């Protein structure tokens, strides 16, 4: 069944000159593997490009928006804005899930794996927009959908370095510095996901997942804060 791409364009506020680029942005590798005769390409190269464009646009925004913030704090802000949790939520707001081209097996998985796919697809759309219309249009797309989201995150306090906060709380409450341990990693080298446990002494307090060990640690720390009731 052909997707109504104009419906997505209307929602996203971007009208593509090359519709095949837009379609490619939503095409997961699993779909290609299951449909060998299709002329489509999967979206991983677009994701690679979009990731770089997204990071530059967000970095430039934060640098200008917070002129007194040090590098470390800006890095934390950027991580919070471009991690898979944030991007998958933005993708969901754009109804990207309705346009994904997945294998039958992949389409049944609506858990954490789908979050990663949605986050990657958002980056792919950024890359496709950049190729189709240039940097300024890609920047406008990111501004419209990420920067507004950033304001909401700041308002509800989501731009906190949860790992640092959990360490402060743990040292205050128990006198112990938390430790982190990689539990498992999965997926191909270009698209790995990591699960990390956070511990006080030998007790596992929580686990977290992410596209990098650092992101997994931040998510584990956030869950640990909730588990311990140390969230203000």
Structural domains of the chain sorted by starting position, each given as residue range(s) with its CATH number in brackets: 5-155 (1.10.1520.10), 162-228 (3.30.160.20)
More confident residue, 12 or 105: 12
DSSP 27: B
> Which of 47, 51, 106, 209 is the catalytic position?
51
Instruction: Report the alpha-carbon distance of residue 29 to residue 102 in Å, rounded.
Output: 8
Of the chain, the end-to-end C-alpha distance in Å amounts to: 48
Q: Render pLDDT for 40-55 as a digit per residue (tens, 0 to 9).
A: 899 999 999 999 999 9
- Helical (H) or strand (E) element with 183: strand 179-186
| pLDDT given at position 188 | 82
- 18 given a catalytic annotation: no
Rg (the chain; Cα; Å) = 19
pTM (2 decimals)?
A: 0.71
Q: Render pLDDT for 109-148 as a digit per residue (tens, 0 to 9).
A: 777 778 889 999 999 999 999 999 999 999 999 999 998 7
Q: Name the maximum alpha-carbon separation found in the chain.
A: 61
Closest CA to 106 of 23, 29, 187, 212: 29
> Which of 123, 161, 215, 217 is the catalytic position?
123
Q: Tokens in use for 101?
A: 């081209």
Place 155 in a pLDDT band, splitting at 50, 70 and 90. Answer: low
Angle subtended at Cα 28 by Cα 27 and Cα 32, rounded to the nearest 5 degrees: 85
| pLDDT given at position 179 | 96
| pLDDT given at position 153 | 62
- 123 given a catalytic annotation: yes
Using the predicted structure, report yes or no on whether residue 191 has a pLDDT greater than 90.
no
Using the predicted structure, report yes or no on whether residue 196 has a pLDDT greater than 60.
yes
Closest CA to 123 of 211, 218, 3: 211
Using the predicted structure, report yes or no on whether residue 149 has a pLDDT greater than 70.
no
What average pLDDT is seen over the chain?
87
């Amino acid at each position: 069944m052909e997707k109504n791409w104009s419906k997505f364009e209307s929602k996203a506020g971007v009208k593509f000159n090359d519709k095949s680029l837009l379609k490619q942005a939503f095409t997961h590798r699993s779909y290609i593997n299951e449909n060998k005769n299709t002329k489509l390409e999967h979206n991983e190269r677009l994701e690679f490009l979009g990731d770089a464009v997204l990071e530059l646009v967000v970095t430039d925004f934060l640098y200008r928006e917070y002129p007194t913030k040090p590098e470390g704090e800006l890095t934390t802000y950027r991580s919070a804005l471009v991690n898979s949790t944030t991007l998958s939520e933005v993708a969901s707001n754009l109804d990207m899930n309705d346009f994904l081209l997945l294998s039958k097996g992949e389409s049944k998985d609506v858990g954490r794996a789908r979050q990663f796919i949605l986050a990657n697809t958002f980056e792919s759309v950024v890359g496709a927009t950049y190729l189709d219309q240039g940097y300024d249009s890609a920047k406008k797309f990111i501004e419209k959908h990420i920067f507004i989201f950033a304001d909401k995150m700041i308002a509800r306090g989501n731009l906190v370095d949860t790992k640092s906060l959990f360490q402060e709380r743990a040292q205050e409450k128990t006198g112990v510095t938390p430790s982190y341990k990689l539990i498992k990693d999965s997926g191909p080298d270009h698209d790995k996901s990591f699960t990390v446990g956070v511990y006080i002494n030998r007790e596992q307090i929580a686990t977290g997942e992410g596209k990098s060990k650092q992101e997994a640690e931040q998510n584990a720390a956030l869950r640990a804060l909730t588990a311990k009731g140390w969230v203000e």
